[in-house]
Chain A
Amino acid sequence: MNIATQPPKPARRGLRGLDTNTRWLLSLVGILAGELLYFNLAVSSFWGGGWGSSNSLLGYGEYFLFTSMMSLGVMFVIFAGDIDLSVGAMSGFAGVMMAEFHLGGMNIWLAVVLSVLLCAVIGLIQGLIITFFKLESLLVTLAGWFILQSAAVAWEGPVPPYNLPSGFESALGTGTIAGTVPNQLIVFTVLAVLATLIVHRSRFGRQLVLVGHNRDAAAYAGVRVSVTRIRAFVLSATFAAIAGMCVAATYGTARDDLGPTLLLPAITAVVLGGVDIFGGAGLVPGVILASFILGWLTPGLLQDGVSDTWTSIAIGILLLGSLTVKGMSDRNQGTTLRERLRARLGSDPPSLPPTPANTT
C-alpha cells in the first residue's frame, strides 16, 4: 500500500515495525473499542432497548450511515489527490430528483436508479471539466455545489416533496432485517466491501493510489491520469447519490438542505481514517472505522448528557488532535526518542515548513 520511496530500514519489533497506515488502523480500532467500552459502562441508556430498538448500537446507524456512504465516495477522489466538495449538494439534488421523478408518475425504484445514474453523469461532467481545462478540483466542485444546490431548490419548489412510498422508506431508511440489522447497514456494508475491493484489490485502485501519490510518475508509467481521476469523480457522485436516497428514505422527504450538512462530517471521517489529504496513501478500512467512531460519538455523548454543541466541538478537536498525533508519529517513524533529541539539539539545519516537496 505504502508506495513511499523510503530506503528499507532495519526491521523493528512491535508497533514500530508496522507501516504508518497499519499503525493508524490499529489506533482507530483502539479508539473505537475505547469509545464503545466507555459508552457501555458509563452511559446506561446507550444500549437503550437492546439490539432491536432504534435506541441501540445498531439502531443509531440510521443517524450516520448515509454520511459514511458519502465518506466512501469522497475517499476515491481524495485518494487521487483531488477533492470533491459537491457531494453534499449532490446527495440533496439526487433525493429531490428521485422524489420529483416519482411524483411525476415514475415507479419509485426506477426513479432511484435513474437519479443515481444521472448523478454519476454529473460527476463525469465535473471530472471532465477538471481534467480537460486543468482546473483545481476544489474550485470546480465548489461551483458544482452552488449550481446543484440552486437546481435542487428550484426543482423542489416551495413545498419539498414528501409522502414517499412506505416500501421505499423502509427499504432504504428505517427498516430492519429481523428487527435487528438496519437495512441501511446492509447497503453500507455492500458499498464498503465494494470500495475496499476497488481500492485495494483492483488494477484501477492501484492506479488511483499512484495517481494520487505522484501524477508525473503515473503518467510516465502509462497510467491514463485523466481517466483515472474522472472515474474517481464518477464514483464519488454515485456514492453521494446513493447516500442521498438513504437520506430521503430516512427522513421521508427530499430536501435540498439535508445534503450539504453532511459534507464536513464525511470529509472529517476520510481524513480521520488516515487517508492523506494530498492523495496516494491510506486504507479503506480506516475510513470505515473512522466513520463509525464519529457516528457513535454523537448519540453516545448526547446520551451521556453532553449537549449537541459540545459534541460538535469534540468532533472538531478529535479531528485536529488525531491528525497532530498522526503527523508527529509519521515524521518520527523509525526513529528513537534519543535520535530525535539529538537531531533537534544538534547542528542539523532546522526542518523546513511543509511544502509539496517535503510533505511525503
Chain B
Amino acid sequence: MTGISPSLGPTPAGPASDRQRVSASRRLLRQREPLLVVLTLAVFLVTFAVNSGFGTSGNISFLLADAMPLAILAVGQTIVCIVRGIDLSVASILGVAAVSTGFLAQDHNASVWLMLPLALAIGTCLGLVNGLFVVFARIPPIIVTLGTLIVYQGIQLLICGSQTVVTVPTSYITLGNRNLFSDIPYMLVPGLVVTVVMAIVLRRTSWGRSLYAVGSNADAAFRAGIRVNAVLVSAYTVCGMLAGLGGLAFLVHYDSANGQSGIETNIQLWSIAAALIGGTTLTGGKGGVVGSFIAALFLEVTIEAVIVLGVPQVWDSAAVGILLLAAILADRYQTSGISLRQALAGPFHRGPQFGHEHGTGRRR
C-alpha cells in the first residue's frame, strides 16, 4: 500500500492493481513458493554456519528423504483443502498402507513394485469411503474424517494384532535410505513425481480447474455444469491414494511400522500445517501442491535445525505451531494487499479492510 498513487483513491486492493504498483522483488515474495524457498535456504544456511555438519551430503540427502512421507501427504491434503475440505484420516490411511505392505514384505518377501499398486489401492478405497460419506451422508468433512481416523486406526491395529513390522527386505532399505546419485535419495523421486504430476493436473486439466471452482463456490460450480459431487468424491479419493503412497514411503524410509504408525506423530496435523504454510487455505479455491511440497521440506529443515542449534527436541512441535501461526498471518498479508504493519495491527489499521469476516466464519 505504500506506493499507492492518489489517483487510484479508494479502489479496492485487488490482485490486478497490486501487480502494477509493487516492485518485482516484492511481487515475487508475495507469492508463497519463492518466499518459502528463500526461508528454507536461509534456515539451512544459518544452521550450516553454526554447525558445518548440517551441510554434509549425507545430511542433505537424509533431510530430503525424511521429508518425503510428509510431503506426499501434504500434496493430498492440499487437494482436499482446495475443495474446501479437510482430511484428518490420512494418518490412519498411511498407517494401514504401511502395515499391510510391511507384513507382506516381512513375511513373504514381497517386492516393492508389487506393493506400490497395493498401497495405492488401499489408499484409494479408504479415501473413497471418506468422499462418499462427505457427499452422500452430508456430514462435515472434519467430522467424517475424524470418524474414519478412528475406524481406520482400528483396522490398522487389527492388521497388526500383537505384531509389528521390524525387518523388511534389503531392497526396501535401499530405496528408503540410499541415494540415486550424489545427494539425491531415491525417496525424492516419488515425492517429486507426485508433486509435479499433481501441479500439472491442477493447472492444465479440467478436473484440476473444477477443484478450484468447487472450492471457491460450489453453488456456482454446479450451475456452471460441474458435477460437484463427483469432484468432491474424487478429491478425497486422490488424497487417500496419496496417503497410501505415503504409507509405503513411510515403510521404506523407517524400515518398520506398527499399530501406531502415523497417528503417534500426528502426521495428519503436520500435513495440514504443511499445506497451509504452503499457501493453501481452509476456505477453499486457493493454493497449489508445489507450495505444500516446499513447505514440507521447510518444516523438516526447520525441525532438524532447531535440534542442531541446540534447542531441546521437545520444542520442535512448538516451532511448527509458531510457523503455522506465522503462515496464516502471512496469508492475510499476502492476499489482501495490505502492508505487514497493517496486518499486524489487526482491526485497528486504517486502510482497506481485509475481508468482512463475519459472514465467512462458517466452515463446512
Contact = CB atoms under 8 A, between A and B. Distances in A.
A279 interface: yes
A138 interface: yes
A352 B228 contact: yes
A253 B86 CA distance: 35
A47 to B, nearest CB: 27
A358 B149 CA distance: 27
28 contacts: A82-B361, A129-B325, A133-B332, A133-B343, A134-B355, A138-B86, A140-B328, A143-B325, A154-B315, A215-B359, A219-B358, A260-B266, A277-B143, A278-B363, A279-B362, A312-B150, A312-B154, A316-B147, A316-B148, A317-B151, A320-B144, A324-B139, A352-B218, A352-B219, A353-B228, A353-B232, A357-B219, A359-B364
Given A268-B146, A313-B155, 7 more contacts: A81-B361, A145-B321, A312-B153, A313-B154, A316-B148, A320-B148, A327-B137
B149 A215 contact: no
Nearest to B323: A143
Given A267-B146, A355-B218, A143 B321 contact: yes
B150 A316 contact: yes
Contacts of A355: 217-219, 364
Q: Which 8 residue pairs spanning A and B have beta carbons closest together?
A: A146-B321, A150-B318, A316-B150, A313-B154, A316-B151, A143-B321, A153-B314, A324-B137
B169 interface: no
Contacts of B324: 139, 142-143, 146
A216 B359 contact: yes
A135 interface: yes
A29 interface: no
A323 B134 CA distance: 11
A183 interface: no
Interface of A: 81-83, 129, 132-136, 138-140, 142-147, 149-151, 153-154, 215-216, 219, 225, 260, 264, 267-268, 271, 277-279, 308-310, 312-313, 315-317, 319-320, 323-324, 327, 331, 352-359
Contact of A147 (B148, B157, B322): B322
> How many B residues are at the interface, by size bracket?
35 or more
B219 A144 contact: no
Nearest to B332: A133
A144 B317 CA distance: 10
Contacts of A327: 137-139
Contacts of A313: 150-151, 154-155, 158
Interface of B: 86, 133, 135, 137-140, 142-144, 146-151, 153-155, 157-158, 217-219, 222, 228-229, 232, 266, 269, 272-273, 276, 282-283, 312, 314-322, 324-325, 328-329, 332, 343, 346-347, 354-355, 357-359, 361-364
B219 A150 contact: no
Contacts of B140: 277-278, 354
Nearest to B354: A134
Contacts of A260: 266
Given A142-B272, A215-B361, A309-B154, A319 B318 contact: no
Contacts of B283: 136
A142 B269 contact: yes
B93 to A, nearest CB: 14
Given A313-B151, A353-B228, A144 B321 contact: yes
